[in-house]
A and B are shown apart, each in its own frame.
Chain A
């Protein structure tokens, strides 16, 4: 489906009867060069960049549900490049640069809005850590500014600056961070891949892998066997369930993370803020709802819903930071399932099975990583070598002691 201003006018005058689906709904072919399991943001981005950057178009994306129905539609839409460690920050900086050019690139309005992210600090130690992280970001080509209390007050005067326990001492401002319309990212990548010949096959579950003599020959699905030279798993949240069918155990636990939206309000919050002393972060959507979230429910879960203790904890965090929230009514909440990895960082790697590739372990950071994840996964699939900003995302890094542990928590997935 292609769009134009002329088409919009014509359809407006003729009852909107000429719109067609944004992508085709094909039956699977017998075999493909690459079969991507998972039609989420990362899978679709991978297909898009395989076709666009590497001219590999004999590709299928196989999705158990429907496009936009998984984590790409269940996140809080934030994009940022504010990591500390060398294994991570160049990757996320590439991702943010791709976000900056994404709408022009795939010619679709994803409402990329670089409204700035402010990480608040409440103690001297946090300020030191923020300064160090800001320097690491700048060294890797990102942007960071350390604000003092007055600097924060000038931006957000309604915050609770004089809380007896957690006074706001300043914040690390990342101006290029922001938000994106998440559904449009899935639709834009799906449309772009489809236009280049990629088959997007929805309502098709992968039930197993056909592996002979250490080589993956294709996937068994609810629509029959589909052969492939290369099979690329891209199902964060369900990675363990899918890779178990190839006999693999992963350094991953699945956890549920909740998010919330308030009723629509007049513009009050023009950026993203994160509370440094509790589990709360918040932005305001273009529809006016405050979009916020907090921490994991902490226990293994595949239920796309959480429990009330975390709801209460997030609301308390919100009230501690923005007392004016007390009159706001919460509209809805939901949960998404995260691949929580053992060091809090993701994987983009070959497996020990020839022709089988793995992308997952995105923890809470999957959405912002979407473009770079697709870019680097496509590079790996096309060239069999890791992209230079994703060389650290290996499955064997725990065996070799090469963890990328931003928070220094060790092998305790729910603490990352």
Chain B
């Protein structure tokens, strides 16, 4: 698989390590009343879709940036690549 890095261009997926579902960006509020339940769901439960999947890849052998890759889990086709930083900021995170 070739991942089209937003800054560096097309890179071999072997340069990256894989973390998992991009929902891991959305860390729950630890002060919420039901924080324990929220963290359980956040850490352990997954949508695990067959089809489009937004997921976190780390460019370990490259510029060490985190990417959000939208990929089809049935065909392995990569549909979109964003910097995880941009995704997080668009959701109101400071970094």
Residues in A lying within 8 Å of B, measured CB to CB:
238, 240-241, 244, 249-254, 298-303, 307, 309, 342, 398-399, 411-414
Q: Are B45 and A303 in contact (CB under 8 A)?
A: no
B65 in the interface, Cβ–Cβ < 8 Å? Answer: no
Q: Shortest beta-carbon distance, B25 to chain A, in Å?
A: 16
A299–B71 contact, CB under 8 A?
yes
Q: Is the CB of A299 within 8 A of B48?
A: no
Contact of B55 with A303 in the complex, beta carbons under 8 Å:
no
22 of the cross-chain contacts (CB-CB < 8 Å) are: A240-B49, A249-B41, A249-B45, A249-B47, A250-B45, A250-B46, A250-B48, A251-B44, A251-B46, A253-B21, A253-B46, A253-B48, A300-B55, A300-B73, A301-B73, A302-B73, A302-B74, A303-B75, A307-B1, A307-B76, A309-B13, A411-B44
Whole-angstrom CA separation of A292 from B80 in the bound complex: 35
**B20 touching A253 by the CB < 8 A rule?**
yes
Residues on B with beta carbons closer than 8 Å to the beta carbon of A252: 46, 48
CB of B60 to closest CB in A, whole Å: 12
Q: Are B44 and A398 in contact (CB under 8 A)?
A: yes
Question: How near does chain A come to B28, taking the closest CB pair, in angstroms?
Answer: 14
User: How far does the Cβ of B13 sit from chain A's closest Cβ, in whole Å?
Assistant: 7
Pick the contact of B76 from A241, A249, A303, A309 — CB < 8 Å?
A303
15 more contacts with CB within 8 A, not counting A300-B48, A301-B73, are A238-B50, A240-B48, A253-B20, A254-B50, A298-B17, A300-B21, A300-B73, A301-B76, A302-B73, A307-B13, A309-B13, A342-B44, A398-B40, A412-B19, A414-B20
Residues of A within 8 A of B75 (CB): 303
B46 touches A240 (CB 8 A): yes
Determine how close the nearest CB of chain B comes to the CB of A383; give it in whole angstroms: 28
**Bound-state Cα–Cα, A298 to B49, Å:** 16
A241-B50, A302-B74, A309-B13 known; A413 vs B20 contact (CB < 8 Å): yes
Seen from chain B, the residues whose Cβ lies within 8 Å of a Cβ on chain A are 1, 13-14, 17-21, 40-41, 43-50, 53, 55, 71, 73-76
Cβ–Cβ < 8 Å partners of A411 in chain B:
43-44
Chain A residues closer than 8 Å to B43, beta-carbon distance: 342, 398, 411
Q: What's the nearest-Cβ distance from chain B to residue A399, in Å?
A: 5
When chains A and B are docked, how far (Å) is the Cα of A340 from the Cα of B47? Answer: 13
C-alpha spacing A398/B40, complex, angstroms: 7
Contacts of A303 in B (CB 8 A): 73-76
Please give, as numbers and ranges, the residues of chain B lying within 8 Å of A249 by CB-CB distance.
41, 45-47
Structural contact, B14 and A309, CB atoms closer than 8 A? yes
Closest residue of chain B to A252, judged by CB? B48
Q: Which residues of A contact B13 (CB under 8 A)?
A: 299, 307, 309
Residues of A close to B17: CB separation below 8 A: 298
Question: Chain B residues with Cβ under 8 A from A254's Cβ?
Answer: 48, 50, 73
B47, closest chain A residue (CB):
A249
- Contact partners of A253 in chain B: CB under 8 A: 20-21, 46, 48
**Residue in A closest to B51 when the chains form the complex, CB atoms:** A302
Which residues does chain A contribute within 8 Å of B19, judged by CB atoms? 412
Q: CA separation between A253 and B74, bound complex, in Å?
A: 13
Which residue of chain B lies nearest to A296 when distances are taken between CB atoms in the complex? Answer: B18
A410 to chain B, nearest CB (A): 9
A residues near B73, Cβ cutoff 8 Å: 254, 300-303
Report chain B residues within 8 Å CB of A399. 40, 44
Residue with the greatest number of chain A CB neighbours at <10 A, chosen from B13, B20, B53, B73: B73
Q: How far is the CA of A414 from the CA of B76 in the complex (A)?
A: 17
Task: For B21, list chain A residues within 8 Å (CB).
Answer: 253, 300
Given contacts A301-B76, A307-B76, A309-B14, contact A251 B45 (CB under 8 A): yes
